[in-house]
């Protein structure tokens, strides 16, 4: 385990699988104490935490639905009590629903997507800023918001509601970065492209990455670990003069 981040506390929302789990593992290997947030997948979260502990790291799991304000507050308060004041946040929790055109969507679906992807990101960022800001007694910190290449491409015929929600995450990243730049907090974003995670199965097409990888200049889908590497760089001191940036991790697309 690395020591360069020893004692620093990281919260990863949606950390039980995919990009979130890869981020938690990599962060722990570099010395972070990691809070793995999950909504339903407790066994998966326990598996990630157990793997980290077996390799000499430190991790806890905390259940919370990020779209619910009281549960987000509980997530951060639990982390305060068990690990200490948060230094880094990865706003990774996200959802989408089955592929369809806008003219087939109901309002309830759109509200569910925006509740998790937009409101959840805002609430978690708010709690992080309250703890990190030097104006509020904090010692600074770093936030990375996980967007999607869909925010640029629109996902027509599949899930433009998801794409629009990630466009909001991009705007949150840019605005918040400027808002807290003088308070010791850096805010950046990562836009993954076609990555092998089970999010595609939730949208109704488990093999979506393999179908679409021919559109990628590198002619392949990405792995969660490749996205995690970009996230950890943005969190690190190597990115000390980087804020308000959105890094595309999409094989050139």
The residues that are catalytic are 162
CA distance 133 to 12: 19
Residue 116: phi, psi to the nearest 5?
A: -75, -50
Residue 26 and residue 2: Cα distance in Å, rounded?
10
Query: Where do we find the tokens 């970065």?
Result: 177
Tokens of 37: 């947030």
CA distance 33 to 116: 25
Say how far apart CA 220 and CA 213 lie, in whole Å: 5
Report d(CA 204, CA 189) in Å as an integer. Answer: 26
Helix H or strand E segment including 10: strand 9-12
Q: Tell me which residue of 168, 127, 149, 167 sits closest to 213, measured CA to CA.
A: 149
């Amino acid at each position: 385990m690395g020591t360069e981040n020893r004692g620093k506390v990281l919260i990863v929302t949606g950390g039980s699988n995919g990009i979130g789990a890869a981020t938690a593992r990599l962060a722990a290997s570099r010395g972070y104490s990691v809070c793995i947030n999950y909504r339903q997948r407790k066994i998966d979260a326990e598996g990630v935490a157990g793997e980290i502990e077996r390799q000499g790291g430190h991790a806890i799991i905390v259940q919370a639905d990020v779209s619910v304000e009281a549960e987000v507050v509980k997530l951060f308060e639990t982390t305060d009590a068990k690990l200490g004041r948060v230094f880094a946040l990865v706003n990774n929790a996200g959802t989408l629903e089955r592929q369809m055109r806008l003219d087939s969507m109901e309002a309830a679906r759109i509200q569910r997507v925006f509740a998790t992807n937009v409101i959840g990101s805002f609430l978690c960022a708010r709690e992080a800023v309250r703890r990190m800001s030097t104006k509020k007694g904090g010692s600074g910190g770093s936030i990375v918001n996980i967007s999607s290449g869909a925010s640029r491409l629109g996902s027509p015929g599949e899930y433009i509601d998801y794409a629009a929600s990630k466009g909001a995450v991009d705007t949150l990243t840019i605005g918040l970065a400027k808002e807290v730049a003088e308070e010791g907090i850096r805010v950046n974003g990562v836009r993954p492209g076609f990555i092998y995670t089970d999010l595609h199965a939730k949208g109704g097409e488990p093999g979506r990455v393999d179908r679409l990888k021919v559109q990628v200049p590198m002619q392949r889908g990405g792995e969660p670990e490749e996205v995690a590497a970009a996230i950890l760089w943005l969190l690190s001191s190597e990115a000390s003069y980087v804020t308000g940036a959105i890094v595309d991790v999409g094989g050139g697309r």
